[in-house]
Amino acid sequence: MWSYLLKRLLQGILTVWFIATATFFAMHNVPGDPLSDERVMTAAIRANLEAKYGLDQPLMTQYLIYLRNISRGDFGISFTQENREVNDIIREHFPVSATLGILAVLFATVGGVLWGALTALYRNRLPDVLIMFLVILGISVPSFVVAALSQLSLVNLNDFFGRTILPVAGWGTVSHMLVPAMVLGLGTMAYLTRLMRSSMLEIVSSDYVRTAKSKGLPPERIFTRHQLRNAILPVVTVLGPSIAAITTGGFVVELVFAIPGLGRYFVEAVQQLDYTVIMGTTVFYGAFLVFMVILVDVLYVFIDPRVELN
C-alpha cells in the first residue's frame, strides 16, 4: 500500500515536471514579449525583471532558473498586475474554483448514479426515454450555451416572483453556487448517467442478482446491496478524468456567472501574455489533477475488494 502510494506520487511528480517543461517551452515559442510595451515600465524595472528571471540569459539557463523557482513553490510575480505574486492569485482564487468544482463533481456523481440506476430499472419505459433524451441534450449542448440559458431562466424566475430567488451571477453564498455548479456538472452527469445505465443493465440480469432473488430478498435490499455497489464501479473508474473535465470546464462557467475563480485569471493571463501567471496556474492545475487521479485510484480499493494496490 505505502510503496504503491510512494510510486504513484513519484510518477505524479514526473508528470507535473513534464507539464511544467512543456508549458515553459510552449510559452517561449509564443510570439510577443510582455516587457516590450514601453508604457508599462521603465528601463530600471525592465532590467530588474530581466535579472530576476534571467531573461537576458540563454534559454536553458532560464529553464533551470524556472525549475528551481517552482520547486521552491515560487511561481513568481505577475507581469501585468501590480505587486501580485502568482501564489497570492492562486491562494485567493483557487478555493472559489475548488468549491465550485467539488459541488459540480458531487452533483454529477450523485445525479449520474441515481438517474442511471433509475433509467435501467425503468428500461424502455417513460422515465427511461425522458431521462435519456435529456442526457443526450446534456452531452451535446456546450456548457456556455447552458450557462447563458440558465442565467436567462434565473432572470425570468426572479422577475416572476418579483424578488431574488437565486442570484443570477456573483459569488458569496450557497445560493450563488447552486446553479453554476449544476451547469458545470451537467455534461459529466449526463455522461455518468449513460455509463451507470449500461452498467446497471448488465448487473440486473447477472447471475448474482438472480441468486439474491432466489434468497427471497426484498427488491430494495437487492437494489442497494447487490446492484448499486457493483454497478458503481465503472463510474468510479472514470471519476478521475471526470474531475479533470469539470475543473477545466470551469473557466467558461466562471466567466459567464462572474465568479472570481482561478479560471478567469488563467484566461486573462493568456490574452495578456502574463507568462508567470500562465505557467503558475497551468502547473498548479496539472498537479491538482494528477493528485485527484491518484486519490480516485486509491479510493477504488475500498470499493472493489478485488483490486489490490501494487
Q: Which of 36, 6, 258 is nearest to 147 (CA)?
A: 258
Among 225, 242, 273, 285, binds other proteins (CB under 8 A): 225
Integer CA distances (angstroms), 38 to 44, 80, 164, 277, in order = 12, 13, 47, 21
To 5 degrees, how large is the angle CA 269–CA 271–CA 273?
60
Q: How far apart are the two ends of the chain, measured CA to CA in Å?
A: 7
Q: What's the half-sphere exposure (Cβ side, CA atoms, 13 Å) at 298?
A: 15
The Cα 16–Cα 128 span in angstroms is 42
Q: Of how many residues is the chain composed? A: 310
Q: How far is the CB of 3 from other proteins (least distance, A)?
A: 22
> What are the grid coordinates assigned to 263, written together?
479560471
Binding string, residues 151-190; x marks residues near other proteins by CB under 8 A = ----------------------------------------
Binding residue count for other proteins, defined by CB under 8 A? 23
Residues 233-252 that bind other proteins (CB under 8 A): 233
Is 77 one of the binding residues for other proteins (CB under 8 A)? no
Q: Can residue 305 be called a binding residue for other proteins (CB under 8 A)?
A: yes
In whole angstroms, the minimum distance from the beta carbon of 217 to other proteins comes to 6
Q: Is 230 in the site for other proteins (CB under 8 A)?
A: yes
Q: Is 113 in the site for other proteins (CB under 8 A)?
A: no
| Residue 160: half-sphere exposure toward Cβ, Cα within 13 Å | 8
Residues 6 or more apart from 150 whose CB is under 8 A from it?
179, 182, 183
- Residue 125 as a binder of other proteins (CB under 8 A): the answer is no
Among 107, 226, 251, 274, binds other proteins (CB under 8 A): 226
Restricting to residues 195-224, name those near other proteins by CB under 8 A. 205-208, 210-218, 221
Between residues 89 and 231, which has the closer beta carbon with respect to other proteins? 231
CB of 106 to other proteins, least distance (A): 23
Q: Which of 65, 118, 303, 309 binds other proteins (CB under 8 A)?
A: 303
What burial class does residue 283 get, using C-beta atoms within 10 Å of its C-beta: 0-12 exposed, 13-18 middle, 19+ buried? buried
- Binders in 246-285 for other proteins, by CB under 8 A: none
CA-based nearest residue to 97, from 279, 243, 299, 226: 243
Which residues of this chain interact with other proteins, rule CB under 8 A?
Answer: 205-208, 210-218, 221, 225-226, 229-230, 233, 303-306
